[in-house]
Copies of this chain bind each other. A is one copy, B any other.
Amino acid sequence: MPVGTKGTVRGVLPTDLRAVGSRMLLANTFHLSLRPGEDVVRALGGLHGLMGWDGPILTDSGGYQVFSLGARTKVDEDGATLRSTVDGAPVRLTPERVMEIQHRLGADVAMAFDHCPANPLARDEVGRATERTHRWLARCVTAWREGGAKDGQSLFGIVQGGAFEDLRRESAETVTSHDLPGYAIGGVSVGEDREAMLLAVNTAAPLLPDAKPRYLMGVGTPLDFLDAVERGIDLFDCVTPTRHGRTHQAFTSEGRLNLRNRGWERDTDPLDATCDCPACERFTRGTLRYLCQSGEMLGGILITLHNLRFFHRLLEEIRAAIGAGTLASLRPRFERAQRRVGAS
């Protein structure tokens, strides 16, 4: 899922998003509740109206903002108080309130409100946050059954437990004790190392039911996708293709390119000779370099589209390889895609 935090994948028309292979988008509960507000979104046809998108949309729950805006946040048993990113005013989130917002936004998939601990390596802190996540999940499920579920909305529970195998196992068991349409592994991609992320997936993924989607939140790089899919993960969201696109970093089958590099000035090759995106079909690296260098927004837009296409193609390759039983053979190509490549 490309990330459209504020209800827009920055600079990209929905038709172009569809053309590069996007099927499902992510938007952000907390930010949209502040601006334009869930009632305005609802009046404008819900998230699908706001985003001009007729495919599925998942909303994260605001749990990640409790983590990422940590310094200005207070968590108690009932919920969390954050500061508005629009005007600094206090904003109260509880499991019930978060489910209400997601219902009013009209998300196809709502995420449970979880407590993502600041330090995934501090056992006491992680233990308390995981227990709280479980109590909040029960409240989310109740609110969802009385709300969004009646309108066909799905709810995914979130497994926490940081980098601790026993906590992750216990969390997976508690979360899956609720019969929900899907399950997610959270508390990853929060600054922990690769080992901690893999431990979380290794521990939790086998405990999630085979027949329901398993979603690894906020991950990741091409190799992360491969590692996670090998362990049973089905769904990802990641800001990398779009954020890197806007900062002029392109992913290609040969590695990562910084398009502001002088070395691309007269390069007449496309970003990636194997790619069929709008950037590669019509533009050279030299032109992209010029657009980025001169601050023209088309540069970031084109690289965003390219990166999205590249990431979707990686996942298309993974799906095909699962069918053919050749998943492991992808590893060298995925490793190559993560290298940095300088201009010639």
Write the residues of chain A forming the contact surface with B, with a CB cutoff of 8 angstroms.
Answer: 6-8, 10-16, 35-36, 40, 43-45, 49-50, 52, 265-266, 268, 278, 282-284, 286-287, 290-291, 293-294, 296-298, 301-302
Given contacts A6-B294, A290-B40, A294-B6, contact A301 B13 (CB under 8 A): yes
Q: How far is the CA of A249 from the CA of B297 in the complex (A)?
A: 19
Docked-complex contact B10 and A266, CB < 8 angstroms: no
Q: How far is the CA of A278 from the CA of B266 in the complex (A)?
A: 34
Q: How far is the CA of A45 from the CA of B290 in the complex (A)?
A: 13
Docked-complex contact B44 and A284, CB < 8 angstroms: yes
Given contacts A268-B43, A297-B297, contact A282 B10 (CB under 8 A): no
A101 to chain B, nearest CB (A): 16
Docked-complex contact A35 and B278, CB < 8 angstroms: no
Docked-complex contact A298 and B10, CB < 8 angstroms: yes
Q: How far is the CA of A290 from the CA of B49 in the complex (A)?
A: 12
Q: How far is the CA of A302 from the CA of B10 in the complex (A)?
A: 12
Given contacts A13-B301, A35-B294, A278-B15, contact A44 B286 (CB under 8 A): yes
Closest 7 pairs (CB-CB, A-B) = A52-B282, A44-B286, A43-B266, A36-B290, A8-B298, A11-B297, A8-B296
Which single residue of chain B is at the shortest CB-CB distance from A7? Answer: B290
Q: How far is the CA of A16 from the CA of B11 in the complex (A)?
A: 13
Q: How many copies does the complex hold?
A: 2
Docked-complex contact A36 and B265, CB < 8 angstroms: yes
CB < 8 Å neighbour of A268 from B14, B36, B45, B298 = B45
Q: How far is the CA of A287 from the CA of B40 in the complex (A)?
A: 9
Q: How far is the CA of A10 from the CA of B278 in the complex (A)?
A: 16
- Chain B residues in 8 Å Cβ range of A287: 44, 49-50, 52
Q: How far is the CA of A25 from the CA of B266 in the complex (A)?
A: 23
CB < 8 Å neighbour of A296 from B10, B282, B296 = B10
Q: How far is the CA of A232 from the CA of B263 in the complex (A)?
A: 49
- Chain B residues in 8 Å Cβ range of A45: 268, 284
Which single residue of chain B is at the shortest CB-CB distance from A301? Answer: B11
Which single residue of chain B is at the shortest CB-CB distance from A19? Answer: B15
Q: How far is the CA of A287 from the CA of B48 in the complex (A)?
A: 11
Which single residue of chain B is at the shortest CB-CB distance from A291? Answer: B8
Docked-complex contact B44 and A266, CB < 8 angstroms: yes
Give the interface centre of A14, A283, A290 by most chain B CB atoms within 10 Å: A290
Docked-complex contact B283 and A40, CB < 8 angstroms: no
Q: How far is the CA of A268 from the CA of B287 in the complex (A)?
A: 39
Given contacts A44-B266, A45-B284, A282-B52, contact A290 B35 (CB under 8 A): yes
- Chain B residues in 8 Å Cβ range of A16: 13, 16
Docked-complex contact A286 and B52, CB < 8 angstroms: no
Q: How far is the CA of A50 from the CA of B290 in the complex (A)?
A: 9
Docked-complex contact A11 and B13, CB < 8 angstroms: no
Given contacts A284-B44, A301-B13, contact A6 B49 (CB under 8 A): no
- Chain B residues in 8 Å Cβ range of A286: 36, 40, 43-44
Q: How far is the CA of A218 from the CA of B334 in the complex (A)?
A: 51
- Chain B residues in 8 Å Cβ range of A283: 52
A46 to chain B, nearest CB (A): 11
A340 to chain B, nearest CB (A): 24
Q: How far is the CA of A278 from the CA of B53 in the complex (A)?
A: 12
A124 to chain B, nearest CB (A): 40
